Amino acid sequence: MSIFDLGPHATFIWLSYIAVVIVITGLISWLIFDGQRQRAALKDLEDRGVRRRSSVSSDTGQNQ
């Protein structure tokens, strides 16, 4: 018995594996694209003078 002998449902099994590979590849590609887009948006904001809250010292602007 071979590892590739999947019986009468071989077509469904192979198509399922192919679908999973396509979906995972699409998700990874989307994450890479979106990460680049977010970095560009952040750079644009920083170039316009907008700063992150985390870059402000912790004792300014706090109501205690």
Per-residue pLDDT tens over the stretch 26-48 = 999 999 999 999 999 999 999 99
> Is the pLDDT score of 50 beyond 90?
no
Q: CA nearest 21: which of 39, 54, 13?
A: 13
Q: Average pLDDT over the chain, rounded to whole?
A: 85
Which of 34, 3, 29 lies closest to 17, judged by CA?
Answer: 3
More confident residue, 49 or 23: 23
Query: 22: number of CA atoms within 13 Å, CB side?
Result: 6
Amino acid at 42: L
Average pLDDT over residues 10-28: 96
In this model, does residue 64 exceed pLDDT 70? no
- pTM score, whole prediction: 0.63
The three-state secondary structure class of 62 is coil
